[in-house]
Every structure is written in structure tokens, then in C-alpha cells.
Amino acid sequence: MKKKFRTALVQMKSSLHKEENLAHSLRLIKQAAENNAQLVCFPEFQMAYSPPEQKREQLYQVAEKINGNFISKLLNSAKKNKINVIATIYEIINTNKQNHKVSDTAVLISDRGKLESVYRKIHLYDALGFKESKKLTAGNIIERPIKTSVGTLGLLICYDMRFPEISRILTVNGASILVSPSAWVSGIMKEEHWEIMLKARAIENGVYVIAPNQLGNIYSGRSMVIDPFGSTLVDMGNREGMELVNIDNSRVDTIRGTLPLLENRRTDVYKNYIDVFKS
């Protein structure tokens, strides 16, 4: 694992056209590698913009299996450019076209071009007037963090950030960096929630949080990287493109040493109340 590395944070406005977004993604992977990044992180809905009125069966026509063309091209690009990639797709999770089951999926691709982790979003955005469950199928597994050449990465997606349990589970299972591809919908207090929660998850777990976000359409932008003490390393505002950020993995241990929140947990007490999570 590298003590220090450079990550490329992508803020993009996905179009309705999958092939257009794929071509743009491949250009950005190459550009990130040329700028000496060892990790490039794309937002949720990288594959295509799905308008709120789009039906489940219409989204199914856009979606692909995990071994489809979209991921295959990203695997090849990661290997060719020797860079780790966090990407997202609409994934077909069964072959019964009558059900039209599609997952909101994030993947971790190694710098050797290997598919290391596949995470299917478990908390669908059924809130504030939206109903993602009308066209997406929720996952039910929190994938274990993966050791990579740049650190141990844990994956979550957008609305997952509002649920501290998933970030803590990833952290206690070894994650030092949480990556949350997002398509954060604009609205009253939404940007404030976004920043507060990214910082809270970073501080309470002593981890880096990398949060690439969609821009335009109905989304708020402001892709961010937060360090383990809650400092903002980058906030992309409303600028489309890519930002390079240097990350020092040793800072995780330094912060956890001076602010030992994980060590100070009272799991002996918490276990007496575990049943509350079953209701």
C-alpha cells in the first residue's frame, strides 16, 4: 500500500446516452493516469442519466450485466492505464425480462484490470418526493472493504451516507477510505446535508471520504474529499470535470491515535441493545 497517493475525483453530467458517457469515462481514466493519479472515482449514474419519469422497463433497456460492454471497457482501460477505478452502472441482476430487475451498482477495479468488488446499493432513495424503488432493486449485502495498492477501500452509494451503520461496518472491517459515488438531488437544505454527513462519516470513523457527485440535470454537484479529521481537501462546487487530490494514508493512523473514537467504543454496552436494529 502506498503511504501517499493521488486520486482523481470526477464530477460529471451524465447524458441520456450510454455510449457517450462510456467514451467520456475512458477519456477521463486516461487523463487521470497521465496526471499521475493512482485512483479515479466516478459518480453514481455514470452510465446514463435516468429522468425521474423513466419507467423500470425503460431503464432495463439501458442496463447491462456485470460482464457487459460497459464494465469490460473500463476493465481494459484500468489495466492499460495502470490505475484503480471506482465506477457505477445500472446492473441487470436477473435474466427474466418480465421482472426488469436493475441494481444501482458500484464496482472497484484494480490497476491490474481485475474486478475486485461489486456493491449493490442497499438504501434506495425513497424520500423527499422520490421513489427509487419503483425502478431499482435494492441490494442486501455490505461488501467487505478491499485492500488495494492505494489503501483499503469500502464502497457505499449516495443515500447510504445518511445511514451511519454502513460506514461504521465498513470501517470496523478495515476500511481507511470510504468511497461514495453519488447523484445527490438538489433541494432545500440538500447541500448542507451533503457536506455535514460527509464530514460526520469521516470524523466519527477516522477515515477519508471520497464523494464524487453528479452535476446538472437535477443534481447538486459539490463533489468532495474529506480527510479523517473533517477537513475539506476539495469541493468542486458546480464545476464539471476532474480534480486531483493528494491523500496521505498515514493521517488515518495519526488521527485515530489522537482521537481514538473506535478504541473508545463501548461495545460491551452496545451489545445489550442490538435488538433495536431488528425492529
Say what the alpha-carbon torsion angle 166, 148, 242, 185 is, to the nearest 10 degrees.
-10
What is the C-alpha separation between 228 and 200, in angstroms, rounded?
A: 10
| Per-residue pLDDT at 278 exceeds 80 | no
268, three cell numbers? 460491551
Q: What is the CATH architecture assignment of 4-278?
A: 4-Layer Sandwich (3.60)
Residue 2: band (very low, low, confident or very high) from pLDDT cuts 50, 70, 90: confident
pLDDT digits 0-9 by tens, 20-45: 999 999 999 999 999 999 999 999 99
Q: What stretches of 161-274 show up as alpha helix (H) in DSSP?
A: 164-172, 190-205, 250-258, 267-270
What is the C-alpha separation between 70 and 72, in angstroms, rounded?
A: 6
In DSSP terms, 219 is beta-bridged to 185, 216
Overall average pLDDT of the 222-241 stretch: 98
What is the C-alpha separation between 273 and 277, in angstroms, rounded?
A: 8
* 97 φψ region: left (φ > 0), alpha (ψ -120 to 50), beta (else): alpha
Kindly state the greatest CA–CA separation across the chain: 55
Least confident of 18-22, 157-161, 196-200, 270-274: 270-274
pLDDT digits 0-9 by tens, 43-101: 999 999 999 999 999 999 999 999 999 999 999 999 999 999 999 999 999 866 667 89
Helix (H, G, I), strand (E, B) or coil at 237: coil
Q: Are residues 112 and 72 in contact, defined by beta-carbon separation less than 8 angstroms?
A: no
Residue that has been written with the C-alpha cell 432495463 in this structure: 60
What is the C-alpha separation between 229 and 256, in angstroms, rounded?
A: 9
Q: Tell me, what amino acid is at 193? A: H
Start-to-end CA span in the chain (Å): 40
Q: Which residues of 182-201 are buried (b: 16+ CB within 10 A; e: fewer)?
A: bbbbeeeeeeeebbebbbbb
pTM, whole model, 2 decimals?
0.96
What is the C-alpha separation between 103 and 133, in angstroms, rounded?
A: 10
pLDDT digits 0-9 by tens, 98-118: 678 999 999 999 999 999 999
